[in-house]
Structure 1
Amino acid sequence: MRNSLLLLLLVFVFSAACTQKAKVFTPGELWLDNNQEHINAHGGGILFHEGSYYWVGEYKGEGKTGNKAKVGVSIYSSKDLVNWKNEGIALTVVDSIGHDIEKGCILERPKIIFNQKTEKFVIWFHLELKDQGYTAARTGVAISDNITGPYQFIRSYRPNAGLWPMNYPDSLKAIVYDESAKAWSEKDREDVRLGKYLHRDFEQGQMSRDMSVFVDEDGKAYHIHASENNQTLHISELTDDYTDFTGRYIRVLSGDSNEAPAICKRKNKYYMISSGCTGWTPNPGRSAVADSMLGEWKPLGNPFIGADANTSFHSQSTHIIKVNGEEDKYIYMGDRWRPKNAIDGRYIWLPISFENDSLKVNWSDTWKL
């Protein structure tokens, strides 16, 4: 009898420990969901809707091949941003051979937004077709009536085919570039800044790799993506239903090799955190500010402060969270990639502070809102 009572007590204590809610963020550590499993939502984005936060991300697998999409886009929910419930798979890849989101494709950086007019939930993502490496450089879109899905895939494509950026001078549209210029030479770099790859992709549509989506206070939505061989960011206006492009877009930080964009708005200023282009290897982060989404973006430098700032705390940006109901609380959301075992990628969430017109991210082993 005594052994039975002891066993019951141990089971109760273990169950209580497992169900106890976390109270602090611990960047870089294992982050367990309601099932006591490490959250599997990499390169993700957050939407606050009707009292809850929803986190969509890449569902990764084991080992090096785990970066290919074998499952799809996962989704989690939370009331406090610390404790997360697994809501399943929002968008599932398919077995059909030749389908855009065929199992084994590369599906990255999903972002979720809500359209007040259509009452539809929309997920945008970066897509590379199966077995084609990173040559497709497409963006894909899916919609659902329910925030947790299932989402219906609509299409994937390169945006803005046959259209010039709004901030691209007429005087440059007729230039014919010397294709013999050595890659990364000063001549090649200058050609890239002037629009070498913009011209190359004019007819078929502009490349869209690392991406994010931002919905402004007036309901206008924007798609931000690494384009022109990852040398220049493009910011494109979305249609009123958030499922297509209007054709209005701009080039941002031309030739500066930015990827992994994340956007927020504070006191009528727009802020961006991005990274350099070094593959899976982390690098010093970048930041920029503008007075409008389709305005001029001014570089601000590395927003990360202190030890390991030159690696963005061994992370890469994916999203900036505006804490609901808080006037001035924003969270940097980054990924610490594990390319040798993709499923073990960790999450780096840290508070953002603002100084004048710039933003800063400081490291903390543990912190809470």
Structure 2
Amino acid sequence: MTLSPRTTITPGQVWLDTAGERIHAHGGSVIAVGDRFYWYGENKEFSTPGSGIWHWGVRAYSSTDLCNWQDEGVIIPPDEDDEESPLHPAQLLDRPHIVYNAETRKYVCWVKVMTKGSIQRSTVLVADDILGPYEIVRTWLRPLDMSAGDFDLVVDPHDGKGYYYFERVHSEMICADLTTDYTGVTGYYSTHFPQPQPPFVREAPAYFARDRKHYLLTSGTTGYYPNPSEAAVAHSYHGPFTVLGDLHPSDSSRTSFHSQISSVFRHPGKKDLYIAIADRWLPSYLAHGERAHQAFVEHFAPGRDGDEPMEEFAEVNTSLADYVWLPISFDGDRPVIAWRDEWSPDEFEDA
């Protein structure tokens, strides 16, 4: 089925590709290469309850307008034969991030893989083309000998230096310098936002820069259940960061519009257009209304054990997860995200 071209982005609604199929680029990011945009992320098409399939590789889509996306297929396929491979479908592979290294002329992809006991490690792959094929160069990496969870990769546009922001699992946020080929860390790092336990520990870092300031957007640690976002700003990659508060101040549910930001994309052809790319992991969560909100409030209640699981009232079926893409506005230096049922990049002035 071929669909009529879209002219807008509709946050929270089912997003189909140009062939009429549900888009699977979860925990995703967008990268501009030449005159095209590439949206890539976790392929969850087979990740139904009871399937035993956490992911089916990393999938990519291409577009010229950010509204209409053509399926480019699975650019990092799952390893179906080796159960010990980090790419096996049962491995808990999340949040691919790809950056381009101008010196090596390689696209470098990092993924995190969770294992038992809250141990989270990284696998690094490289390719000559954004669409692959990708070759594994490092597996089961513990950067800085730490359990490394959600992360973002950053390349300085002026000197090409790379940085790796990651959640030191259930502890704090780390900014580590990448090696010159972006496949490892040098050993130099800084620590930020220390917290005693979930749900207060910050995860899902999404970095962007504006007006020579460095921003980190993060979420709390409540699994797939949404929680309040938080923005922080600094004058350097390594901080110190000043916390600015919730990015979604108009959201009375304090759930970041029932979503979790995975990355921020700065549109290279528009003036001051920064897009928060987020997943709505649990669309059915919305149907529980006040009950869902009350459970969330209780989860953050003072004195509560943050490791105690929340009541399960929403089925976790990530194959049905949706996306919430919203433009970021600025109140002075503070980034703010307001809800919009529909919007278009064409609303913004060309650079």
Question: Please, what TM-score do these two structures have when normalized by structure 2?
Answer: 0.83
Regions of 4+ moved over 6 Å: none
- Tell me which residue corresponds to 2:338: 362
Aligned residue identity for 1:360: V
Q: How does 1:147-166 map to 2 (within 5 A)?
A: 147-161=130-144
- Tell me which residue corresponds to 1:216: 156
Q: Does the 8 Å contact 1:287/1:301 carry over to 2?
A: yes
Of the three residues 211, 217, 234, the one matched with 1:273 is 217
Please give the alpha-carbon distance, in whole angstroms, between the structure 2 residues aligned to 1:319 and 1:118. Answer: 24
Deviations 1:280-299 (A, max 9, x none): 11111111001111121111
- Tell me which residue corresponds to 1:44: 28
User: Do structure 1's residue 346 and structure 2's residue 322 form an aligned pair?
Assistant: yes
- Tell me which residue corresponds to 1:138: 121
Q: Does the 8 Å contact 1:68/1:107 carry over to 2?
A: no
Aligned partner of residue 343 in structure 1, secondary structure: helix
Please give the alpha-carbon distance, in whole angstroms, between the structure 2 residues aligned to 1:231 and 1:68. Answer: 28
Kindly tell me: are residues 212 and 302 of structure 1, through their superposed partners in 2, closer, same or farther at Cα, counting changes over 3 Å? same
Q: Does the 8 Å contact 2:42/2:55 carry over to 1?
A: no
Q: Does the 8 Å contact 1:67/1:342 carry over to 2?
A: no
Kindly tell me: are residues 151 and 360 of structure 1, through their superposed partners in 2, closer, same or farther at Cα, counting changes over 3 Å? same
Please give the alpha-carbon distance, in whole angstroms, between the structure 2 residues aligned to 1:248 and 1:290. Answer: 18
Please give the alpha-carbon distance, in whole angstroms, between the structure 2 residues aligned to 1:108 and 1:79. Answer: 26
Please give the alpha-carbon distance, in whole angstroms, between the structure 1 residues aligned to 2:122 and 2:143. Answer: 11
Deviations 1:197-245 (A, max 9, x none): xxxxxxxx11111111111212111111111x32201111111111111
- Tell me which residue corresponds to 2:43: 59
Aligned partner of residue 233 in structure 2, secondary structure: strand
Aligned residues: 306
Please give the alpha-carbon distance, in whole angstroms, between the structure 1 residues aligned to 2:58 and 2:51. Answer: 13
Kindly tell me: are residues 287 and 113 of structure 1, through their superposed partners in 2, closer, same or farther at Cα, counting changes over 3 Å? same
Q: How does 1:166-181 map to 2 (within 5 A)?
A: none
Aligned partner of residue 240 in structure 1, secondary structure: coil
Q: How does 1:227-266 map to 2 (within 5 A)?
A: 227=168, 229-255=169-195, 256-266=200-210
Deviations 1:105-142 (A, max 9, x none): 011011111111111111111112xxx43533112211
Of the three residues 293, 304, 314, the one matched with 2:237 is 293
Aligned residue identity for 1:143: V
Structure 1, unaligned runs of 5 or more:
1-14, 162-204
Q: Does the 8 Å contact 1:118/1:241 carry over to 2?
A: yes
Largest Rg, 1 or 2? 1
Please give the alpha-carbon distance, in whole angstroms, between the structure 2 residues aligned to 1:364 and 1:249. Answer: 38
Kindly tell me: are residues 330 and 216 of structure 1, through their superposed partners in 2, closer, same or farther at Cα, counting changes over 3 Å? same
